[in-house]
Amino acid sequence: MTPPGRRLDASARHPSRSGSTGSARPTAPLPLVTRSRVITVLVVLALALGGLVYRIVDVQATPDPRVLEEVSNPLGEIVVPAPRGTVFDRNGRAIALSLPAATVVSDPRIISDPQQVAADLSEVMGIEPEALLDKLQGDGAFRYVARQVDAEIGEQVSDLGIEGIRVISEPRREHPNGGCSALAAVGRVNIDHAGMSGIEETYDEHLSGTPGQVMKEVGVDGTTIPGGLYEVTAPAEGRDITVTLDRNVQFQAESMLLEAVADAGASSGVALVALPATGEIVAMANVARGSNGIVDCTRHNLAATWSYEPGSVFKPVTAAAALSSGAVAEQVTIEVPSYLTIWEHRFEDTPTHPDVEWTPTQIVARSSNIGTIKMALQAGEERMYQTMRSFGFGARTALDFKGESKGILPSLREWSGLSLPNMAIGQGLAVTPLQILQAYNTIANGGVLVPLKLIVDDAGASAGPVEGPAPVRVLSREVAATLMRMLTSVVEVGTGREADVEGFTMAGKTGTAWQPCDIGYECVNERNELIGRHHTATFAGIVSNDDGPALVVLVIIDQPKGERISGGKLAAPTVKRIAEYALRQLRVPAELSTVDGERRRADPALVPPPPTLLADQSPDSGESQT
């Protein structure tokens, strides 16, 4: 009997036709797969595949900037600095040269503990950790930590073995005379070895050379790929330059000038030493008192950029104009009254004197304002102006330093009734120390202006020939010789006795000038109270031996304090000291001396080259005799 609700399957109802009595194994029903399920699966697969394709295209079209930065430039480039040329003095001794120095660099990407690294480096380098920390962190694989440090510090940093810190070599500019010496003339370079001032700047391209480079194939982590591209382009060395300076004379001139400025309580000073025959500058010293009150070398080239009223040191130019005009002769006396009034302005001499008659030589030896003005009046405005121009006043010298001043020489149409008398005694115009040096060189050189030189220009010089202006005759040989006798009397019997150098003939001129101030030549302080005058003490000296003028030495000291503020008392002794050293250093022989009736040289040293002289021009030759 069949249980209720249970149906018999076909096999139960119909026994096997074979007659088998064994039970049959049931078969599992197949799952029912609908059309909609298949479609859903296909859609999902299509969407997934489409998303993958979109991402691939997106990455290819707009990759991550960080990834792009790493893979777009598989070549690493290292710049190899070119060795900078050396600046040599006239004797082949280095004044400025480049030597290897240690530079500490970091790779912040692999520095795990910047604070600890900063602390470790601080102990070795003497730099506060806070100042180092910023250079050990951040993006990028290269940061400067400290550049161009001493080799000892570099070795100590290397010994620390800090991961992410390494020491590389960079050139550092060195100055054998000290970092201060020839600071203004030779100039300085910046941390990247580019010239910033002086000769270093003017001849930067000549000295710099061409940097080299190392090109190498690197991975995304910045490491070199073994067997990859590795190309080296060697740097082209900079070329050397030889200057006319003498390293030893330069150092001593700076030292002696610095001492004089410091002792006088002055604000600044300039000292120049030159060879008149060639125009070569042997020393160019510039010192100034800093805000801390200490006097030291200054990077400002006062010799070229400072323009000031020269005062009495300018009087030989006036004498040159008067003598060249023919209105004044060496032995003809001139009436010199106790005072002179021009356009209601009273001119006097210091010290005062009664009415006298003096020769031009006596006028220059006594530095008489009145006598000098009378010589200028006899020469006339046109002659005076042309003489000043021919000496080079109102124009830059051939050195043409960057920032070199022309001074101030008003044109004739700008002159007033007081211009001639004022300029005659060195007021109402402004000159540079280089212009004064050039004028005295011209007198020493027999009336021929030989352009000033600072770069050696002979065929063997490293810098090669330097074409400059040709020498030009400014004065006749006779007028120049007369001026030399006048200037010699200044040292023998006049205001420049303290400049005399034993064994040589010193000719020169003192100057104690007032500089324009707040109220004419009277200066006031911040409370508008009169505080006196701004003085400038000058002495320009020409040192000669039996072969003629050998050196011109100029010293200018600005704003001295105390009692010894005159050119004769302050600048002249400094000229003497510098000249004595320079003569020994340059091996200039002293004059012949009489010993047991025989004339012999005091020192059988080398003799400087003879002066460059041009043929004298007569007034009838059509060439101006100014």
What would the pLDDT profile of 491-549 be if each residue is shown by its tens digit?
999 999 999 999 999 999 999 998 887 677 777 777 776 677 889 999 999 999 999 99
Q: Quick check: 540 and 512 in contact, CB under 8 A?
A: no
The separation between CA 107 and the C-alpha centre of its own chain, rounded to angstroms, equals 35
In the predicted model, what is the mean pLDDT of residues 72-83?
66
CA dist 584 → 91, 245, 464 (Å) = 15, 15, 29
Angle between helices 315-325 and 369-379 (to 10 degrees): 40
Contact call for residues 479 and 387 (beta carbons, < 8 A): no
pLDDT at 323 (0 to 100)? 98
Pairing of strands 280-289, 268-275: antiparallel
Read off the pLDDT of each residue in 145-174 and give the average, rounded to a whole number.
90
Of 249, 203, 194, 171, the residue nearest 464 (C-alpha): 203
pLDDT in the model for residue 615: 34
Q: Is the pLDDT of residue 93 over 50?
A: yes
The tokens for 231 are 């190309």
The values of phi and psi at residue 281, to 5°, are: -90, 120
pLDDT at 617: 34
Q: What is the mean pLDDT of residues 267-294?
A: 96
Q: State the Cα–Cα distance between residues 367 and 340, nearest whole angstrom.
A: 15
CA dist 165 and 155 (Å) reads: 12
Instruction: Tell me what percent of the residues of the chain surpass a pLDDT of 70.
Output: 80
Taking 70 as the threshold, does the pLDDT of residue 609 lie above it?
no
- Condensed to tens digits (0 to 9), the pLDDT of residues 178-216 reads 878 899 999 999 988 889 999 999 899 889 888 888 776
The pLDDT value recorded for residue 424 is 98
Coil, strand or helix at 595: strand
The amino acid occupying position 471 is P
Residue 193 confidence (pLDDT): 84
- Residue of 172, 148, 187, 181 whose CA lies nearest to 97: 172
Give the Cα separation of 611 and 626 in Å (integer): 20
For the stretch 382-421, what's the b/e string if a residue is b when 16 or more beta carbons lie within 10 angstroms of its beta carbon? ebbbbbbebbbbbebbbbebeebbbbebeeeeebeeebbb
Q: What's the pLDDT score for residue 17?
A: 45
Range with the lowest mean pLDDT among 269-278, 314-323, 616-625?
616-625
**Residue 283 backbone dihedrals phi, psi, to 5 degrees:** -150, 140
Secondary structure percentages of the chain, helix, strand, coil, to 5: 35, 25, 40
Tell me: the pLDDT tens digits for 315-359?
999 999 999 999 999 999 999 999 999 999 999 998 999 999 999
Residue 458: phi and psi, rounded to 5, are -80, 170
Q: What is the pLDDT of residue 623?
A: 31
Q: Residue 67 pLDDT more than 80?
A: no
593 pLDDT higher than 80: no
Least confident of 57-61, 168-172, 421-425, 508-512: 57-61
CA atoms within 13 A on the CB side of 556: 31
Delimit the domains of the chain by residue range.
Answer: 68-120+167-243, 247-621
Give backbone dihedrals phi and psi of 583, rounded to 5 degrees, phi first: -65, -40
Q: Can you give the pLDDT at residue 141?
A: 79
What tokens were used for 20? Answer: 């088998």
Residues 50-61: what's their mean pLDDT? 63
Q: What is the pLDDT of residue 242?
A: 94
**Do 322 and 360 meet the contact criterion of CB atoms below 8 Å apart?**
yes
The SS3 assignment for 286 reads strand
Residues 6+ apart with CB under 8 A from 573: 260, 498, 499
Residue 230: pLDDT over 80: no
State yes or no: pLDDT of 19 exceeds 80. no
Query: In what helix (H) or strand (E) does residue 248 lie, and over which residues does it extend?
Result: helix 247-264
Largest CA distance in the chain: 176
115-142: buried (b, 16+ CB within 10 Å) or exposed (e) per residue? eebbebbbebbebebeebbebbeeeebe
What are the φ and ψ backbone dihedral angles of 449, each rounded to 5 degrees? -85, 110
User: What's the angle, vertex CA 301, arms to CA 286 and CA 404, rounded to 5?
Assistant: 145
> How far is the CA of 503 from the CAs of 304, 589, 614, in angstroms?
32, 9, 29
Q: Quick count: other Cβ atoms within 10 Å of Cβ 28? A: 5
CB 536 within 8 A of CB 308: yes
Q: What integer pLDDT is reported at residue 473 of this predicted model? A: 97
Cα(117)–Cα(127) distance, rounded to whole angstroms? 12
Pick the CATH number of 247-621 from 3.60.15.10, 3.40.710.10, 3.40.50.720, 3.40.50.2030: 3.40.710.10
CATH class of the region 68-120+167-243: alpha beta
In one-letter notation, the amino acid at residue 468 is G
Calculate mean pLDDT across residues 63-90. Answer: 67
Decide which of 576 and 111 is more confident.
Answer: 576
Most confidently modeled range among 132-141, 173-182, 496-505: 496-505
**Mean pLDDT, the chain, as a whole number?**
84
Measured between alpha carbons, how far is residue 591 from residues 248, 332, 491, 546, 586 in Å? 23, 31, 17, 5, 15
Residues 6 or more apart whose CB falls under 8 angstroms from that of 16 comprise 24
Q: Which of 387, 381, 434, 449 has its CA nearest to residue 412?
A: 381
Q: How far is CA 45 from CA 39, 54, 244, in A?
A: 10, 14, 87
Q: What is the 3-state secondary structure (H, E, C) of 170-237?
A: EEEEECCCCCCCCHHHHCCECCCCCECCHHHHHCHHHHHCECEEEEEEECCCCCECCCCCEEEECCEC
Which residue matches tokens 């909609």? Answer: 36
If you average pLDDT over residues 357-381, what whole number do you get? 97
Which pLDDT score, from 0 to 100, does residue 235 have?
82
Cα separations in angstroms, 167 against 103, 108, 142: 6, 15, 12
Contact criterion met (CB below 8 Å) for 188 and 198: yes
